Amino acid sequence: MKLEWGIDKVIPLKAFNDASNGYLVDDTCVFGAEVFVCKETSRGKGECLSLIKEATAIKSAWKIDYFSSMREESYDSNPFNAGDQTWKIRLYPKGKGIGMGRHISLYLALADPTSLPPGLKIYAEFTLRILDQIYSSHLHAKGL
């Protein structure tokens, strides 16, 4: 099962680090996720589809101070709940995959994938954002 979904090349590091763009201001940045869980399927050979009734989009924001001091490959936000699952935003400050070394990479990840029953499939729509702290012209990427 896939455990994280996202974008390797969200924004070039040069553009992100340029304070005049509003994404990194005074070494502080804000990332966001909006998650709408559409359905879950499970059950051995046959499939059982469970649509989430009256599901609403759940929003989470993650403020990072001292961005320039981040040295690890990836960082995770505090967990948040959407649908019946617990999620987190995962940031690769120096990029991942085809974005490695030149872009910020941003993902939505399951917080505790080991707790999922075998065969469970989750279908979720999501939007990941980098908030523009000056002009409110946020950068966003959608996924399914």
Evaluate whether 107 touches 5 at the Cβ level (below 8 Å): yes
Backbone angles phi, psi at 19, to 5 degrees: -60, -25
Query: According to the model, what pLDDT value does residue 12 have?
Result: 97
CA–CA distance, 25 with 16 (Å, rounded to integer): 10
Residue-wise pLDDT for 100-114, tens only, equals 999 999 999 999 888
CA–CA distance, 82 with 98 (Å, rounded to integer): 29
DSSP three-state, residue 68: helix
Domain ranges in the chain are: 4-143
Task: Provide the 10 A C-beta neighbour count for residue 3.
Answer: 12
Evaluate whether 5 touches 115 at the Cβ level (below 8 Å): no
Residue-wise pLDDT for 117-138, tens only, equals 777 777 788 999 999 999 888 9
Name the pairing type of β-strands 48-51 and 28-42: antiparallel
Query: According to the model, what pLDDT value does residue 55 have?
Result: 57
Residue-wise pLDDT for 40-76, tens only, equals 555 554 444 444 445 568 899 999 999 999 999 999 9
For the question of whether the overall pTM of this predicted structure is more than 0.75, the answer is yes
